[in-house]
Amino acid sequence: MTTSNNAFSDAERRGLYRAIFERRDVRSQFLPDRIPPDVLTRLLEAAHHAPSVGFMQPWDFIVIESRDVRETVLAMFEQENQKAAERFEGERKAHYRSLKLQGIMESPINLCITCDRSRGGPHVLGRNSIVETDLFSTCLAVQNLWLAARAEGIGVGWVSILDQEQLSTALSLPEHVYPLAYLCLGYVSEFLDQPELEAKGWRSRLSLSELVHGDKWGQPLNNG
Ligand SMILES: Cc1cc2c(cc1C)N(C[C@H](O)[C@H](O)[C@H](O)COP(=O)(O)O)c1[nH]c(=O)[nH]c(=O)c1N2
């Protein structure tokens, strides 16, 4: 076996993979307990240490504790969720309607991670050809926070059933700032063993072997 002096210790590696495999999207298991400010700061620091195109760091973090703002966002969710349900027919529609897809009021903190599309000026290193790389970078900040939260015993739920323009208005975002992720954060009663959508029979995890290709799409991987 190849070893590297740069690798983490076994325990550290186990911890990292545990966070990856036991991270869950949480909607129903939130506890009302307050997240201490130093813990929240650790999560935001983790997010802030994500990679970003040209070191653009396009993110801002809007920490939403007010019930008023959360009620406004919940009303926006209800409206969009109604529209989303209409896209399904029959049993699938009833199944969709039975799913809980947000924990906006039950979680003690909502967090909007935004992407400032103008940060770093008009020419950002690495963003010349693919302009969406600022959005990709911000997604990585979300994932860092999501994994760090799992390690802290804090659940995160991403709510994307929202109209972005309405959300921007509700949060007074400037024109050049995009509301990339609306997240619900809080301690939880439990983390489920599998994605809630899988547990509820909506969709299962695909097999990795069907997703790995060699050289070109559809070719078997030659790893022998
Ligand atoms: C960009 C994006 C957007 C959403 C989500 C995720 C991501 C990455 N997910 C959570 C999603 O359903 C969940 O990640 C998968 O079902 C897999 O479950 P685990 O995250 O592994 O628990 C999500 N969940 C939900 O209940 N309401 C939502 O609006 C969304 N939106």
61 close to 113: Cβ distance less than 8 angstroms: yes
Q: Tell me the pLDDT of the chain (224 aa) as tens digits.
A: 556 789 999 999 999 999 999 999 999 999 999 999 999 999 999 999 999 999 999 999 999 999 999 999 999 999 999 999 999 999 999 999 999 999 999 999 999 999 999 999 999 999 999 999 999 999 999 999 999 999 999 999 999 999 999 999 999 999 999 999 999 999 999 999 999 999 999 999 999 999 999 999 999 988 75
- Choose the residue to mutate in 23, 25, 110 for probing ligand 1, maximizing ligand atoms within 8 Å of C-beta: 25
Query: Would you state the pLDDT for residue 137?
Result: 98
End-to-end CA distance of the chain: 16
Query: Would you state the pLDDT for residue 222?
Result: 83
pTM: 0.97
Degrees to nearest 5, angle at CA 150 with 147 and 156: 85
Query: Would you state the pLDDT for residue 1?
Result: 53
CA 195 – ligand 1 centroid, Å: 9
The CA distances from residue 77 to 24, 162, 163, 197, 202, in Å, are 21, 5, 8, 18, 20
With H, G, I as helix, E, B as strand and everything else as coil, classify residue 156. Answer: strand
- Choose the residue to mutate in 160, 163, 184, 190 for probing ligand 1, maximizing ligand atoms within 8 Å of C-beta: 160
Q: Is 212 left (phi over 0), alpha (psi -120 to 50) or beta?
A: beta
Choose among 43, 7, 40, 41: nearest CA to 23. Answer: 43
Choose among 3, 90, 61, 36: nearest CA to 182. Answer: 61
Query: Would you state the pLDDT for residue 3?
Result: 64
Phi then psi for residue 63, to 5 deg, are -90, 115
